[in-house]
Amino acid sequence: MASSNGAPTAGKLWGGRFTGGQDPIMTQYNESIYFDRKFYSQDIRGSIAYARANTKTGILTSAEFAEIERGLQQIHQEWESGSFHIHPGVDEDIHTANERRLAEVIGKDIAGKLHTGRSRNDQVATDMRLWLREQIEQLERYLVDFLKVITARAEKEIEHVMPGYTHLQRAQPIRWSHWMLMYGSFFASDLQRLREVKARVNRSPLGAGALAGNPFNIDRDAVAEELGFESVLMNSMAAVADRDFVVETMQWGSMLMTHLSRWAEDLIIYSSGEFSFVRLADAYSTGSSIMPQKKNPDSLELLRGKAGRAFGQMAGLMMSVKGIPSTYNKDLQESVEPLLDHVKTVGDSLQIATGVISTLDILPENMHKSLTPDMLATDLAEYLVRKGVPFRETHHISGRVVALAEKEKKPMDQLSFAQLQGVDKRFDEDVLAVFDYQKSVEMRSAKGGTSRSAVMEQIEAVKKALAGEK
């Protein structure tokens, strides 16, 4: 029904109660069709499953169900081909648009029965969960591909030794593969968490109605099974009120992006001229508009920057939902747009990260040049430990050797045996064998260490995580 003071309301699903028009700005402010149309396929699948269930309750005849299914399949084809025409101001959301078009295709009498016992409240929650389940499966594939590259490179490049850092200061020698598997461990945990999130996403709210449940004894389990859900949400109020599955997905994405950001930061540093441990492929770099010599790691900087974007989306949604009362409130519409962008950002980021690590060149000679004998000071202390000297004492002795090398302005490995004995008589002539970087990494063979055997064990652990094993 048109009104002189606003937009018509008679064409809307809820228009019967209203006699006045709606402010046109309110109409635009309220509608979600221009972003939730992404759920067109899920909305149609849910409607077909719901209609099939309503044939068993007697709401629909078999012939009516066949017409509804035919009409919805035609609408799906229209969306797929890009020929579906949205009616601005009428099609508030994807559910309204599909139902309006169904009435045009098969007639209002049959189409009008589709919504019996159903609410847009359980409908939108169903659509979102179906869509998100599919997206999580895709994200899982992206993450698995990324981890496969990490483990393959770790295995292939296991010989190369580089400085390990704490406080961004050179600390102890490690294998390059050990560094990669530090992040491999983070990302393997992210994979495990994603699979856990998927299980909580994959629960059906359909049949919960507006909030109080379905009055026509619909078989919710059968509907859930048809749609591939693992279970149903047992409380109808919780089913329509819950956006924890969105928040949790975005919390997961924020953690993954945090790990990607740290990984990117390391590679940005390692690709700088001061380090030159790695060289990015041209495909993931850009140049300077004024300095011809520059090769900027923009791919990695964008990964680092988009971590803030992902976290902001998650934090913003949490603030939107933190104070709303039960059950459905329109605030929950604010869960859709950030989710759509968040999932795209995370998916794109994983693909970029995979491209970067797949094409990255390492410069082992520069890694080796950055190793210095003082990084073996702990090994020197451990040498005396093996001779029965308490570690606290050996730590002090090793520190005195470091100070002597600094005083003599020469590397520790160039100190003479006599000079070392001048610090402590318990040094024997075999002490000079301590100054060997390969020996140092091989000494750290306990589970989780940087020796070849320990690194290979870590590679196998990530491979097991990829296969879903604990």
Enumerate the active-site residues.
Answer: 167, 288
Strand 278-279 and strand 361-362: the pairing is antiparallel
Q: Which of 197, 198, 196, 195 is nearest to 229 (CA)?
A: 198
Strand 203-204 and strand 169-175: the pairing is unpaired
The span from the CA of 158 to the CA of 460, in Å, is 14
The span from the CA of 21 to the CA of 227, in Å, is 38
Biggest CA pair distance of the chain:
102
Strand partners, 325: none
Q: Which of 145, 165, 146, 149 is nearest to 157 (CA)?
A: 149
The span from the CA of 30 to the CA of 406, in Å, is 71
Q: Is the Cβ–Cβ distance between 36 and 54 less than 8 Å?
A: no
Q: Which residue has the tokens 């570690």?
A: 391
Q: Which of 208, 197, 210 is nearest to 235 (CA)?
A: 208
The span from the CA of 58 to the CA of 231, in Å, is 24
The per-residue DSSP string of 33-96 comes to: HHHHGGGHHHHHHHHHHHHHHHHHTTSS-HHHHHHHHHHHHHHHHHHHHT-----TTT--SHHH
The span from the CA of 436 to the CA of 347, in Å, is 43
Backbone angles phi, psi at 188, to 5 degrees: -65, -40
